[in-house]
Each structure stands twice: as C-alpha cells, then as structure tokens.
Amino acid sequence: MKEGIYNILKGKFLFSDDAMKNWRVILFLSFLAIIMIGSSHRADKKVHYIAQLNAEVKELHSEFVDTRLEARRLKMESVVTRKVEKLGLAPSLTPPKKIKVVETP
C-alpha cells in the first residue's frame, strides 16, 4: 500500500511501460476540464448580460411612467387653457346646447 502511494507521488505511473494508457486518461480529463471552465465562463457572461438587461428594463419602465404622468398633466383642461391664452383663445362662456334630431317617417 505504501509503495503504491509512493509510486503515485513520484509519478512512476507516467513513465512506466503502460504509461500511454494513463496519459490518454489524463489528457481526456484535462480536455473535459477546459471545456467545463469555458462553459462556466460563458454562463457567467450570460448571467451578467441578463442582469444588465433587467436594470435597463427597470430604468425604461420608470421613464415610461414619468412620461405618462407628464402627458396626463399636459392634457388637463387648466394646463391647455393656460397655454392657449397666449394665442388669444379662451373657453366659451355660453354652455353647449344639445341638438336633437327627430326622424320623420
């Protein structure tokens, strides 16, 4: 048992007669490790990109809400009246009359 551990620590399994079998396994595992590391980096990039897009969506939503409130404020009758007074226009003093259409047979 001790000798097996010493052989592993000294690296004899890499230079013995059947070392080619061990090298294939080591190279295969190294290749899998490189693929796994690259895959995790790509996943991290996607997570950061999604977080950036979520922040942008929140910002655009708040801008939309602000613009909608501003549009509602500008559509109010008092604001429109103040703006058209500069042009010499004023609201009518006489109330509108209802027109009734009577159909004759």
Residue 96 lies in a domain: no
Domain span at residue 25 reads: 2-83
Q: What is the pLDDT of residues 58-69, one digit of tens each?
A: 999 999 999 999
Q: What is the pLDDT of residues 80-92, one digit of tens each?
A: 888 899 898 888 8
Tell me how many domains the chain contains.
1
Tally Cβ neighbours within 10 Å of residue 19. Answer: 14
Q: Is the pTM of this model over 0.75?
A: no
Residue 102 lies in a domain: no
Residue 49 lies in a domain: yes
Q: What is the pLDDT of residues 12-21, one digit of tens each?
A: 767 777 777 7
